Chain A
C-alpha cells in the first residue's frame, strides 16, 4: 500500500519547456488535488477533481492543465514553463465525505520543480 505517489521527485526545466507531473493513489479515493507550495504562502490549490471524470480550478490555475486519467491517476501539465512556476508541487487524495464535505487529505512526497 504505497498511498500517494508522485513522479518525478525533482525536475529542472528551461523557460518555455513543457512537462507533466504524475500522481497516483491506491486508496480508492474519489477526490484528488494538486497544490503548489511556496515559502511564506502555504499551500495553494491549483486544480482538483472531486470525482473521476470531473476537474475544477482552484486558486491558482493559470499556466496549468490537468487530466483525471482514471480513478487512480491525476496528472498536472505545464505547457510552457515560466520561472514563476518554480515551486514544490504536492498531489493529494481524499475520500471526501457526504454532500461534498471535505475530509482528510493524504499527500504525496512532492515534486521540486525549478524553471530557469
Chain B
C-alpha cells in the first residue's frame, strides 16, 4: 500500500539555525511530491512541489526540497530558520491517474528565540 512517512513528530531549532525535515514514501512509481505548511488554526498552504526535472526545487519562504529516487525521499530544508516558521509541516505524495494524494502525519516545528 502507498504510504508516506515523516519520522520526526516534533523538531525544535534555534532561530537562525538550519532545518531539515524528512519525508519518505513507499510506492515505486514516479511520484508527485508536495510540502505544505499549516499555521495554528489555519488551513494548509503549499510550500513547494516536484513533478519532474531538476531534483532540487525551490519554494516560498526560502524553503527548498530535494528528490532522491534512490532513497525514496523528499526532504525539506531551510538554511536559516525564522521565528515565523514555527508551524506544522506536511509531506504529501500522489501518482498519475489518481487525482489525489496521501499526506504524512506531519512534523511540528518549534523555533527558539
Answer whether residue B28 sits at the interface, using C-beta atoms and an 8 A cutoff: no
Determine the chain A residues whose CB is within 8 A of the CB of B102 once the complex forms.
45
* A108→B106 contact, CB < 8 A: no
Chain B contact residues: helix, strand, loop or mixed? loop
- Give the residue among A42, A50, A92, A109 with the most B Cβ atoms within 10 A: A42
Determine the chain B residues whose CB is within 8 A of the CB of A4 once the complex forms.
43
* B96→A99 contact, CB < 8 A: yes
Q: How far is the CB of B41 from chain A (nearest CB, A)?
A: 8
Q: How far is the CB of B105 from chain A (nearest CB, A)?
A: 4
Partner of B45, one of A31, A45, A94, A107: A107
Determine the chain B residues whose CB is within 8 A of the CB of A44 once the complex forms.
103
Given the complex of chains A and B, what is the CA–CA distance between A92 and B105 in angstroms? 18
* A50→B99 contact, CB < 8 A: yes
* A109→B101 contact, CB < 8 A: no
Proximity bits, B63-103, A CB within 8 Å = 1, else 0: 00000000000000000000000000010001111111111
* A40→B97 contact, CB < 8 A: no
Task: Tally A-B pairs: CB < 8 A.
Answer: 62
Determine the chain A residues whose CB is within 8 A of the CB of B104 once the complex forms.
42
- Give the residue among A45, A50, A92, A100 with the most B Cβ atoms within 10 A: A100
Determine the chain A residues whose CB is within 8 A of the CB of B99 once the complex forms.
31, 48, 50, 94, 96, 100, 102
* A104→B46 contact, CB < 8 A: yes
Q: How far is the CB of A42 from chain B (nearest CB, A)?
A: 4
Answer whether residue B44 sits at the interface, using C-beta atoms and an 8 A cutoff: yes
Given the complex of chains A and B, what is the CA–CA distance between A43 and B41 in angstroms? 14
Q: Known: A42-B103, A42-B106. Is A102-B98 also a contact (CB below 8 A)?
A: yes
Closest chain B residue to A40, Cβ basis: B105
* B100→A33 contact, CB < 8 A: yes
Given the complex of chains A and B, what is the CA–CA distance between A104 and B105 in angstroms? 18
Partner of B32, one of A45, A101, A107: A101
Answer whether residue B11 sits at the interface, using C-beta atoms and an 8 A cutoff: no
